[in-house]
Amino acid sequence: MSLFEVRDLWVSYGKALILEGLSLEVEEKELVALIGPNGAGKTTLLKAISRVAEPRGSIFFEGQRVDHLSPVEVVKRGIIHCPERRRLFPDLSVEDNLRMGAYLRSKDKDGVQRDLELMFNLFPILRERRTQDAGTLSGGEQQMLAIARSLMSQPKFLMLDEPSLGLAVLVKKLIADTIKDIRKRGMTILLVEQDAVLAFDMADRVYVLELGKIALQGLPQELMENPYIKEIYLGIV
């Protein structure tokens, strides 16, 4: 069995059916990307996994069902959701935002201090901005802080929702390199990304979500040759 597995997941908001029998797997240390147009249900999937939305179906992590846990219990298992549009505490400093990421580890003071140093080594710009309010950072810096804050909770499985959203091309590239680096260090990642080019560059495997269903899946190099993907997602006719 894979480290993480979603089986036949259905999610509705009121009468609106958003996910219709979605299944997906992520192996240990794999970086899997989920692409798809706006409104396809990508964020809804991550919300269902972190139990902010109510799913029907099963979600397995490390061989155990996690679809009936509370949001805090999901975090305690090591499943961490880095949400869309970053959701930082704008009036708190960079360092305090990072410390918030470790709120469940309050007894582990030495470990938190060590990880704080690790984050400042991984993201040197955050060390420079350490005492600055998060709200004053650039878009790219805020995204790095959001990722670093997620890492402070010591995830076993990291879910990133559109980390490149609204960023300039060069900054997107920088974020992509950072994510690849985190993966190389052994992290298991589910990445939601609208930018298909970026997703194909980063991912080991890709799922395509359209109207609440997995339309296609495969290796990036296979999907990139698919005429439908070329036309719709890569804009190559």
213: phi then psi, degrees, rounded to nearest 5: -130, 150
- The amino acid sitting at 27 is E
- Asked if 90 touches ligand ADP (CB under 6 A), the answer is no
Residue 15 Rama label (left phi>0; alpha psi -120 to 50; beta)? alpha
Q: Which does 153 bind (CB under 5 to 8 A by kind): Mg ion, ligand ADP, none?
A: none
Residue nearest to Mg ion (CB): 43
Rounded to the nearest angstrom, the gap between the alpha carbon of residue 78 and the centroid of all alpha carbons in its chain is 13
- The secondary structure of residue 134, as a DSSP letter, is G
Judged by DSSP in three states, 128 sits in helix
- Asked if 18 touches ligand ADP (CB under 6 A), the answer is yes
d(CA 150, CA 7): 25
- The amino acid sitting at 232 is I
Q: Which is nearer to Mg ion, 32 or 94 (CB)?
A: 32
Q: Which does 39 bind (CB under 5 to 8 A by kind): ligand ADP, Mg ion, none?
A: ligand ADP
Site string for Mg ion, 14-53 (x = CB under 5 A): ----------------------------xx----------
Closest distance between ligand ADP and the C-beta of residue 99, in Å?
A: 29
- Asked if 131 touches ligand ADP (CB under 6 A), the answer is no
32: phi then psi, degrees, rounded to nearest 5: -110, 130
Match 């992520």 to its residue by tokens: 26
Handedness of CA 73, 79, 118, 195 (dihedral sign): negative
- Asked if 42 touches ligand ADP (CB under 6 A), the answer is yes
- Chosen residue from 24, 26, 31, 44 binding ligand ADP by CB under 6 A: 44
Q: Which does 228 bind (CB under 5 to 8 A by kind): ligand ADP, Mg ion, none?
A: none
- Asked if 38 touches ligand ADP (CB under 6 A), the answer is yes
Q: Give the footprint of ligand ADP on this chain (CB under 6 A).
A: 13, 16, 18, 36, 38-44
Q: Give the footprint of Mg ion on this chain (CB under 5 A).
A: 42-43
